[in-house]
Amino acid sequence: MPDLYPLIRPLLRALPAETAHRLTVTALSCGLGPLIAGRGDPDSPSLRQTLWGRDFPNPVGIAAGFDKEAEVPDALLRLGFGFAETGTVTPRPQPGNPKPRLFRLYEDRALINRLGFNSKGLDQTLARLRGRRRTGIVGVNLGKNRDNENAAADYLDGVRRVGRLADYFVINVSSPNTPGLRDLQRRDILENLLRQVVAARDEVAPGTPLLVKIAPDLGDAEREDIAAVADPSGGIDGIVIGNTTVARSPGLRSPHAGEAGGLSGLPLLAPSTALLGDIYRLTGGKIPLIGVGGIASAEHAYAKIRAGASLVQLYTALIFEGPALLGRIKSGLAELLRRDGFSTIAEAVGADHVVASPHRQQAGSRR
């Protein structure tokens, strides 16, 4: 089937960014994904991986924020993503920030968003997750309501109510658009929060992986803190690295570069991959990492895998390149693995680090 996205792109571009996104999600929910994206080739067996006892057909996932309300996780899996992350969902519905709050930076291949956790709330997400046939891996990214001072209560609520409906949980402490949220990354606060969340997970959904999503803007000391807190002995199963950045690289050219909010896309590739490599080194490769930020090609995804990511996710590049990008990334990744003599993704994880071999031995046997 042909890739129709190049024909649709001018229409989407003419619409306000959020309207274009809504239209895309609606098209996916109507089953139009394969028509728009074309049908890709089957995944190469070298892309398969078992992590946390779950079988990932390929390592490329859709990042949180694309399908905040769990409207289209299965349509995204059918498009060829190896896994889908829904959310961020907050316990109660909340509108988020006033519009406009999403900006396309064409010249920089980037977006700035200050959505502020617009969410229809957990009830709706739960109803949708209950209605699925569960044919692929869908993680649930949990947040807190803006007006709740007691952050832990909201995350606990999320874990308890979602329970076994999630294939994995992500505790999002890194969105820049909810005041105070990123302070939860401070070592003492995070330790306390995660201890409670791990206990709740062990109660309602033992064995469901629990990940924490961090900001790309962490300094050296904060990186060490995160690595210490995320030790697997504490019950954390992985780290998502990372969210959008509040930093603005000096080279940005778009007229929207000065908008407040989180920047995603190409300018985030280098800093988020460097952070990923640091966290891999600091954690000694003992905990699986998901690399996110700026991926727009197979080479970018491969760089994250070699820096230490077992899985990768993307969002922003899809807006600029369309969904056929996914097939190009997957076939390109298989080719890069072949070129470098790796027979599986797991063998390439962390390959750029001198201490890669202990990780590689673990990769096959990790939960």
Ligand X SMILES: Cc1cc2nc3c(=O)[nH]c(=O)nc-3n(C[C@H](O)[C@H](O)[C@H](O)COP(=O)(O)O)c2cc1C
Chain residues in the site for ligand X (CB under 6 A): 63-65, 68, 87-88, 102, 111, 113, 115, 141, 172, 175, 213, 243-244, 264-265, 268, 292-295, 314-317
Please check whether residue 6 is in contact with residue 322, taking contact to mean a CB–CB distance below 8 angstroms: yes
* CA 54 vs CA 48, 49, 60: distances in Å: 11, 8, 14
**How is 113-162 classified by DSSP, letter by letter?**
E-----B--HHHHHHHHHTS---S-EEEEE---TT-S-HHHHHHHHHHHH
Minimum CB separation of residue 189 from ligand X in Å reads: 18
CB of 340 to ligand X, least distance (A): 24
CA 200 – CA 156 distance, rounded (Å): 6
Burial of 297 (0-12, 13-18, 19+ CB in 10 A): middle
Strand partners, 263: 112, 245
Q: Among all residues, whose Cβ is closest to ligand X?
A: 65
33 vs 87 by CB, closer to ligand X: 87
- Residues 13-20: contacts with CB under 8 Å, at least 24 apart: 13/104, 16/99, 16/100, 16/102, 17/100, 17/102, 17/103, 17/104, 17/111, 18/99, 18/100, 18/101, 18/102
Q: Which is nearer to ligand X, 111 or 363 (CB)?
A: 111
Rounded to 5°, angle at Cα 307 from 77 and 176: 65
User: For residues 243 and 283, which CB has a smaller minimum distance to ligand X in the complex?
Assistant: 243
Give the residue numbers annotated as catalytic, written as ranges.
175
- Residue 367 C-beta: closest distance to ligand X, Å: 23
Is 242 strand, coil or helix?
coil
The residue among 1, 121, 43, 70 whose CA lies nearest residue 333 is 43
In the complex, minimum distance from the CB of residue 55 to ligand X, in angstroms, rounded to a whole number: 23
Nearest approach, Cβ of residue 34 and ligand X (Å): 22
Nearer to ligand X, 99 or 360 (CB): 99
Nearer to ligand X, 280 or 342 (CB): 280
* Residue 263 CB, nearest approach to ligand X (Å): 9
Q: CB-hemisphere CA count at 13 Å for 54?
A: 22
Q: Which is nearer to ligand X, 89 or 345 (CB)?
A: 89
Q: Map residue 312 onto helix, strand or coil.
A: strand
Smallest distance from the beta carbon of 283 to ligand X, in angstroms? 19
Query: Beta strand 311-314 with 60-62: parallel, antiparallel or unpaired?
Result: parallel
Coil, strand or helix at 221: helix
Residue 261 DSSP code: S
Cβ closest to ligand X, residue 240 vs residue 356: 240
**3-state secondary structure (DSSP) of residue 348:** helix
What is the helix (H) or strand (E) element at residue 269, kind and residue range?
helix 269-283
Q: In sequence order, which residues have a C-beta less than 8 Å from that of residue 304 and are 6 or more positions away? A: 273, 276, 291, 295, 312
